[in-house]
Structure formats: structure tokens, C-alpha cells
Amino acid sequence: MEITITKQLSAFEKNELMALWNAVYPSNLYYNKLEELEQYFNGLSGIQHYLIKDNTFKIVAWAFTFNREAAIWFAILIDSAFQKKGIGSELLNALKKDNPKLNGWVIDKEVYYLKNSENYLSPLPFYLKNNFVLCDNIRLETDKISALKIEWKTPE
């Protein structure tokens, strides 16, 4: 499976990405309508999508980068059937190749649930394994989630 990089998504891809988002993120981050996800995308600048599709052309992994506060931010979503197979690290390596520094939020508490009622497992160990560091005392607290800021930068 190879990574496709694009700035524009088809309507079909947007629908698949919304389904992936709703399946792998905590249910309190769920999007009920495609317009809600599109509104989120429209609020981001410099967005770039990294897609991995299976042999039936279904999107099984997705990462995206965007500009915020003069920095590059990212998010990664992997279909649960494809987790722990190296795809997330492959996506991170592509992001690292294209960006000298990456910022992200990671949910570090396992107090949230997926749409299917399973417990949401924090991906923090995955990011630490991939050379991200915690930004001490920088936390995002909203009515929907609590997350810790992580960062990666090209080694000097």
C-alpha cells in the first residue's frame, strides 16, 4: 500500500474519511453530517492529506497536516483492522520527511469511548516510540476532550 498526498479530496473520499474519523476517535468528537467535517477542514489553512488505501481502494489510514499559529500541526487516523502493522509509523515518516517540525494533540487519558462503546486507547505510547516528546504543561481542555501537546523536530 502506498501513500497518496493531496490537497483536494473527492466527495467519496470525504465520506470515507468521516466514517474513519467516527470509527477511531472518541464518540464525543463524532461528526453527524459531512458538512460538519467540511466546516472543520475549511477552518484549517495549508491542509495536506496523506491517504493509504487497501486493494479495494478503501481508505484505511489517513494523516493530514495544516498550519496553525505559525506552526505545522498534524493528525493521524488508522482503521482499527490496520493498526499495529506499521502503517502509522509509515505515515509519520512521510510527514516527517515533508516537515522539519510537527505539533499535535494526543489524548492521554483512557476515559473516552468509541462509537462502538469500546474504550478509546491513548496513542501516546505510539508517538513516544516514534520520537515525539511531550510539551510539559501544555494541555488542551475542552468540553469534548483533554489532550496533551506533543512535538517532533528534525534531529540536529
- Kindly report, residue by residue over 92-110, the tens digit of the pLDDT: 999 999 999 999 999 998 8
Give me the CATH number covering residue 32.
Answer: 3.40.630.30
CA 25 to chain centre: 9
Question: How many whole angstroms separate alpha carbon 123 and alpha carbon 76?
Answer: 10
What 3-state DSSP class applies to 95?
helix
Model confidence, pTM: 0.93
| Average pLDDT for the chain | 94
**Tens-place pLDDT, residues 20-52:** 999 999 999 999 999 999 999 999 999 999 999
What share of residues in the chain are helix, strand, coil (percent, to 5)?
30, 35, 35
| Domain around 136 | 3-153
Encode 75-93 in three state secondary structure: EEEECHHHCCCCHHHHHHH
Count of the separate structural domains present in the chain: 1
* pLDDT at residue 88, as a whole number: 94
How is 3-48 classified by DSSP, letter by letter?
EEEES---HHHHHHHHHHHHHHS-GGG--SSHHHHHHHHHT-EEEE
What pLDDT sits at residue 132?
A: 96
pLDDT at residue 110, rounded to an integer: 87
